[in-house]
Structure 1
Amino acid sequence: MERWLTWQEATRRALYGAEGFYRRAEGPAGHFRTSVHASPLFARALADLAAASGLDTVVDVGAGRGELLIALCRIAPHLESVGVDVADRPEVLPPSIGWGPEIPAGRNVLLVANEWLDNIPVDVVEVDARGVVRVVEVDVRTGHERLGAPVGGEDARWLERWWPLGDARPGRRAEIGAPRDAAWARAVGRLERGVAVAIDYGHVGEGRPPYGSLAGYRQGRQVPPVPDGTCDVTCHVAMDAVAAAGEAAGAGGTVLTTQRHALRALGVTGQRPPYALARTDPTAYLSALRDAGEAGELTAQGGLGDFHWLTQTTPPP
């Protein structure tokens, strides 16, 4: 097996190879907590979005072990739902939920990509001592790095447009998000009519991290990113580049905001119930208090509330 690879190829093998991280039995939920795991209010908000948009099908891309679809099945059983993932169909999935490795073509679809784009492998680049932008290579056994060939061609053009490093100091890094742009364009292109929502931690414009965002996660903790299949390897998403790719693929009505604002617009406010309710209906009060706590986690500043929500419509409104 080759020992030195680009981060894109090393991550692809580590996450999606035959023994890859995302093919493990415990699934993503065994290692990190997403909005889906935090509260059923997340699924309810997406069901409300589907209803408001006149859509009757939900396609969950990067569905993990089907947690979102199972929640939707309970909340809105009238919705047809399909999970898309490289992993085999989970045994716990109700028979009514579809499953497969490819995004199906569809009409009247709400396509949800919750923390999917960040796990599409990308190349990492770094400015060397002479100011040349080079591809970073990684030892797949140890995670140690070295600088490889200079960046050129389409990758150089992507950097020039979205993450310019022309005047950057040595050591500055970037992640080339072109594979994510292409994946989102293909996903949007599968919708004959519908709404596509990408939810992820990311950055735009002047907010790019100067030394990149490459990280590893295992069992709820951040660990060194070693692409050996034992941990998640991820980078934040250049959301403005993804949005432009969606528009180039024929989508429109682009809205890019935070999860905090998106969920509040869908009624997930986190407002505490009036204390008077505790005297007249204690059960309802406790239920509302629980919902307020869960809504607070979903919209928390410095946490899940900072995630980006990119929403695009096809055909364009």
Structure 2
Amino acid sequence: MRWREAMETALYGRDGFFIRERPADHFRTSVHASPLFAGAIATLLGRLDAALGHPERLDLVDVGAGCGELLTGILAALPDEVRGRVRATGVERAPRPGDLPPTIEWSATPPPRTAGLLIATEWLDNVPLEIVEVDFQSRILYCTSLLTPTDEPLHPADAAWLDRWWPLDGAPPGARAEIGRPRDEAWAAAAGTVERGLALAIDYGHFAAERPPFGTLTGYRDGRQVEPVPDGHRDLTAHVALDSLGDQVMAQRDALRLLGVDGARPPLALASTDPAGYVRALARASAAAELTDPSGLGGHYWVMRWV
């Protein structure tokens, strides 16, 4: 079995990781780090609402919604007038969470004709993809579920993607690449449902000039990084080839600062005049600093397709 099929089964099969596990139990994302993230997305949605002329129905679609934490946080942060016009939809292959508010719809696929915001936070890194490796004869071969090379030649479409986005010419034996073509296609399909508004993918990734020579594939379980074994008991993830998606890209720390999330510490003088306010402001600054830290969550990227 090739790696892509094994990853698909391990993550999304009948007993797959994302079908029976709560992602928040195993890894931490911007959504789980602080309510400031949901608040920033709510600010973005409010600006989109104004740009769209305050439509009667404002769509909010979360692809890879997990247990609906982001949707719940965004709705809570919106003004009542805007919230009343929002049609919120969580897109996830797992069953609908039992504690999800009834106002949030649940679907296995994005709804058609979205007018508003479609967001995919750390979804593309879990879209299954092929792993290829250079052998001692300089051949580029698909990897199996055990991450060992096969003797199977590359499909022409995969070979073309590699030539364009992750060339392995002259790479040493053992060098690996992760063929992002399935991510490009998944993103094109999801973003293609947006008729008016913004499709936004938020993920960690890399660009052509800095592709890692041995790939980025890894696993997570119980908050720890583990070996990427496709056994259904761990998250399997690989960084996204951001430039192959073909859209505008911005660092998360820059995007959040434009939306009012800044990790600057409050003035020390506030501690004397308003001690409680100073503590609240300090806590907010600490949370904002985590979201914008370039060595952590701030190193994520926002991929934006405006329609």
TM-score, normalised relative to structure 2:
0.93
By how many angstroms is 1:113 displaced? Answer: 0.5
By how many angstroms is 1:106 displaced? Answer: 3.1
Does the 8 A contact of 1:6 with 1:137 survive in 2? Answer: yes
Q: What pairs with 1:57-206 in structure 2 (closer than 5 Å)?
A: 57-76=59-78, 78=83, 79-139=86-146, 145-206=148-209
Q: For residue 40 of structure 1, what is the aligned residue in structure 2?
A: 35
Choose which of 201, 218, 223 in structure 1 pairs with 2:226. Answer: 223
Q: For residue 55 of structure 2, what is the aligned residue in structure 1?
A: none
2: CA distance, partners of 1:129 / 1:221 = 33
2: CA distance, partners of 1:145 / 1:130 = 15
Q: For residue 214 of structure 1, what is the aligned residue in structure 2?
A: 217
Q: For residue 27 of structure 1, what is the aligned residue in structure 2?
A: 22
The farther-off stretch of 255-264 and 282-291 is 282-291
By how many angstroms is 1:167 displaced? Answer: 2.0
Q: For residue 247 of structure 1, what is the aligned residue in structure 2?
A: none
Q: For residue 17 of structure 1, what is the aligned residue in structure 2?
A: 13
The farther-off stretch of 282-291 and 57-66 is 282-291
Q: For residue 6 of structure 1, what is the aligned residue in structure 2?
A: 2
The one-letter amino acid paired with 2:67 is: R
2: CA distance, partners of 1:132 / 1:50 = 48
Q: Deviations over 1:184-203 (max 9, x none)?
A: 11111101111011111101
Question: Secondary structure of the equivalent of 1:263?
Answer: helix
Does the 8 A contact of 1:61 with 1:113 survive in 2? Answer: yes
The one-letter amino acid paired with 1:52 is: R
Question: Secondary structure of the equivalent of 1:179?
Answer: helix
Q: For residue 248 of structure 1, what is the aligned residue in structure 2?
A: none
Choose which of 263, 266, 278 in structure 1 pairs with 2:259. Answer: 266
Does the 8 A contact of 1:59 with 1:81 survive in 2? Answer: yes
By how many angstroms is 1:276 displaced? Answer: 2.3
1: CA distance, partners of 2:196 / 2:76 = 25
Identity of aligned residues (%): 52
2: CA distance, partners of 1:182 / 1:107 = 18
1: CA distance, partners of 2:177 / 2:118 = 28
2: CA distance, partners of 1:240 / 1:135 = 23
What stretches of structure 1 of length at least 5 have no aligned partner?
A: 245-253
Q: Say yes or no: does 1:307 pair with 2:290.
A: no
Q: For residue 277 of structure 1, what is the aligned residue in structure 2?
A: 270
1: CA distance, partners of 2:10 / 2:46 = 38
Q: Which runs of 4+ in 1 moved over 3 A?
A: none
The one-letter amino acid paired with 1:238 is: A
The one-letter amino acid paired with 2:168 is: L
TM-score, normalised relative to structure 1:
0.90
Q: Deviations over 1:17-65 (max 9, x none)?
A: 11000011x4100100000000011011111111112263211100000
RMSD across aligned positions (CA): 1.3
The one-letter amino acid paired with 1:159 is: L
2: CA distance, partners of 1:105 / 1:278 = 51
User: How many residues are matched?
Assistant: 295
Q: Deviations over 1:141-198 (max 9, x none)?
A: xxx6343312131110110111111221211110111110001111111011110111
2: CA distance, partners of 1:137 / 1:118 = 19
Choose which of 45, 48, 51 in structure 2 pairs with 1:53. Answer: 48
